[in-house]
Structure 1
Amino acid sequence: MTQIDRKDFAKKTLLGGVVILLPVALLVMGFRWLFQLVTDLIKPLANLIINVVGMPEIFADILVLTGMAGLCFVTGWLVTTAGGSWFHTKFDTHLARYAPGYRIMKDIVGQFFGDVSKSPFAKGEVALVKLFGDCTTEVTALVTSKHDDGRYTIFMPTGPNPTSGNIYHVKQEQVTLYPEISVSDAMRTIIACGAGSGELIANTSAVGSNVRTSTKQETSKGDSSSDDLGDLIQDTLLDKRIKLCLLKHGIETLNDLRQLSEDELKNIKGLGPKRLELVKTYLNAVSTETKRKNFNKNV
């Protein structure tokens, strides 16, 4: 092993250890910080129990935490009753009126610990959005609301902290939905500053007004079988993500695509089983239409 190889080996080994151990260390530090925060909050009650009963500090902390958990359980049960619900509504209304900031804090807590079905991070739909209209630049976003007039309200998270971001109201044609992508998967790419987005989008199907943007679509008047086998891939009506996958592998025309075997199609990275079926269906439709045209010409 040469000196350069030794240095490269030592560097890779050291970085590999850091990548493995650093997340564990950060997790331990996070739990330690949370534990100290909680124990500082309950310290007055814990000290009271220690002075009265004389039990060790750790057991006093556990007893206080158990009591707080029990109080939360009882409170949650009481508000499910008719009387508890009425009292909570009155209390909540008056507190929001006389305590500035209470409503904001309640909404923030509700987003993380309340009904998850009302959270945009749970019910939002993942989408690519053209914020600037006809500009080809797209951003990863969550559709949080759909308006009666067809517009969408979207939340565009910022990386690497997806809990912050911007809210936009855009037209439907600016939005391409990806219902197969879960919010958690999209958030992972945002936390990673976009890393992994290519594979995630390439292996899923899009739904939206701007999914197919080829110029031939505008002139075909909705006839998806008007392509010939000699047409360029970029001019066909295939999904734009499929086009990108094919062009990256040097497949420039429909004729090139037709000559590939099924195994060769399966080996195209990013195509995926669902997109593979779409390609097969499209090729069959184009082949049938081409045969029909040739037959009419001969007649």
Structure 2
Amino acid sequence: MDSEKKKSIGRRISGFFIGHLKKKFVAGLLVIIPLGLTIFILKFLFGIADGVLAPYIRKAVDLIGLEGLYIPGLGLIAGILIIYTTGVFASNILGTQLVNAWDRLLGRIPIVKSIYTSSKKVIQVFSQEGRSNFRRAVFIEFPKEGCYSIAFVTNLVESTSGKKYHTVFVPTSPNPTSGYVLILEDSRVYSAAFGVEEAMKIIMSGGMVAPDVIHSEKLQ
């Protein structure tokens, strides 16, 4: 009996330690993997941004008499400055007209049109200007009863009888630039406990970054 008790206690202790190790190991992975992926992606993007402009910066440095001088990261800084300068230029009247002309030109080239238009729409969706058109994130029963989808309220309309309706946009996943426009009664629209930006993350990730608990209530 004593030996059986000892074996039983030993199994419990070993089971406890194995379970403890598994739990802590998984907890460690949940911290390290996202952090590692973030560092890897940032390093990859930094390398691309720095590498594209690096040859031109080296030539410019050589031209001003500072041969061999190059600081890592100058390509990235130059890229940021170029994007900022382009944004400043595109924001004024002349720049806006030139950008519109450029859009029309690229819109006439068959293959380029698809790539350029799609990429521009994606950027507009994630820009502040695009997000401001979405008033709030909501849930609606779509495409059938008992099946809920994330949608964005885009407008509030009223019928001749005084009944309120919400115009909502239901984006597709993982590409939110296309979707469906629905006009629904108040009672069929449920407010989500997260904002527009969080909803976009859920849609783009295919639900992988969805919260563990979802709270919702009918719109008032």
Same-fold call, TM cutoff 0.5:
yes
Tell me: CA distance 1:151–1:21, structure 2 relative to 1, closer, same or farther (3 Å). Answer: closer
Which protein is bigger by CA-based radius of gyration?
Answer: 1
1:191 aligned residue (208, 212, 219) = 208
Distance 1:76 1:188, change over 3 A: closer
Taking a change above 3 Å as real, the CA distance of residues 44 and 6 of structure 1, as seen in their structure-2 partners, is same
Alignment correspondent of 1:257: none
Aligned to 1:106: 120
Q: How many residues align?
A: 193
Structure 2 residue runs without a partner (length 5+)? 1-11, 160-164
- Distance (whole Å) between structure 1 residues aligned to residue 200 and residue 87 of structure 2: 31
Percent identity of paired positions between Structure 1 and Structure 2 = 13
* 1:167 and 2:179 matched: yes
Q: Is the 8 A contact 2:137 2:153 kept in 1?
A: no
SS at structure 1 position matched to 2:120: helix
Is 1:54 matched with 2:71? Answer: no
Q: Which residue of 1 aligns with 2:32?
A: 21
User: Is the alpha carbon distance of 1:21 and 1:146 closer, same or farther for their aligned partners in structure 2, counting shifts above 3 Å?
Assistant: same
Alignment map for 1:59-98 (pairs within 5 Å): 59=72, 61-62=73-74, 64-98=75-109
Mapping for residues 132-281 of structure 1, pairs under 5 Å: 132=143, 135=145, 137-146=146-155, 150=165, 152-156=167-171, 158=173, 163-164=175-176, 167-173=179-185, 175-178=188-191, 181-186=194-199, 190-193=207-210, 195-197=212-214, 200-201=215-216, 205-207=217-219
AA matched with 1:33: F
Amino acid across the alignment from 2:131: S
SS at match of 1:143: strand
RCO comparison, higher one (Cα < 8 Å, 6+):
2
Offset of 1:29 from its aligned partner? 0.8
1:123 and 1:144 in contact (8 A); partners too: yes
In 2: Cα distance, 1:3 partner to 1:164 partner: 50
CA distance in 2, matches of 1:176, 1:92: 37
Query: Is 1:128–1:138's contact at 8 Å kept on the other side of the alignment?
Result: no
- Tell me whether 172-181 or 34-43 shows the greater mean CA deviation: 172-181
CA change 1:151–1:105 in 2 (3 A) is same
1:30 deviation in Å? 1.2
Residue 22 of structure 1 aligns to which amino acid in structure 2? I
- Residues 145, 152 of structure 1: 8 Å contact kept: yes
Secondary structure of 1:123's counterpart equals: coil
2:45 to 34, 46, 58: 34
TM-score when normalising by structure 1: 0.52
Long gaps (5+) in structure 1:
209-299
Structure 1 residue 172: deviation in Å?
0.9
What TM-score, normalized to structure 2? Answer: 0.66
Higher strand share: 2
Contact residue 178 and residue 206 of structure 1 kept, 8 A: yes
CA offsets 1:238-273 (integer angstroms, 9 cap, x no match): xxxxxxxxxxxxxxxxxxxxxxxxxxxxxxxxxxxx
Aligned 8 A contact 2:61 2:69 in 1 = yes
Instruction: Please give the alpha-carbon distance, in whole angstroms, between the structure 1 residues aligned to 2:177 and 2:117.
Output: 21
| Root-mean-square deviation over aligned CA pairs | 3.5
1:56 deviates by 4.0
Q: 1:206: Cα distance to partner? A: 1.7
User: Is 1:44 the equivalent of 2:55?
Assistant: yes
Q: Does 1:118 align with 2:123?
A: no
CA distance in 2, matches of 1:140, 1:165: 16
SS in 1 for 2:142: coil
CA distance in 2, matches of 1:166, 1:93: 21
Q: Kindly indicate whether the alpha-carbon contact (under 8 Å) linking 2:46 and 2:76 is maintained by their aligned counterparts in 1.
A: no
The aligned residue for residue 7 of structure 2 is: none
